[in-house]
Amino acid sequence: MPGSDPRIHDLESRLSSLESTVQQQAQQTTQYQTHVAQQISTLQHKVEQQGGALQAHMDARMKEQMDQIERLLSKKPRNE
């Protein structure tokens, strides 16, 4: 428009730039959230695996201890 205020043109330009920046930030935030969600899922899977391995180890140790206790209890007592 002829005779339009240059400040309005400047504000429109700055607003357009701001809108573009906000869109980029929103896209980056979405990508970051997706990445974090994937990392959490991977970590949760690893924790579950380690929990299972730990439980299996503890079960094996408990069985060994129970077997040893049973062996000790089944021995004949010494005559004193």
What percent of the chain stands above pLDDT 90?
84
3-17 pLDDT, tens digit per residue, is 688 999 999 999 999
Which alpha helices (DSSP H) does the chain contain, by range?
6-74
Q: Is the pTM of this model over 0.85?
A: no
38-50 pLDDT, tens digit per residue, is 999 999 999 999 9
Q: What is the pLDDT of residue 65?
A: 96
**Pick from 76, 50, 72: nearest CA to 64:** 72
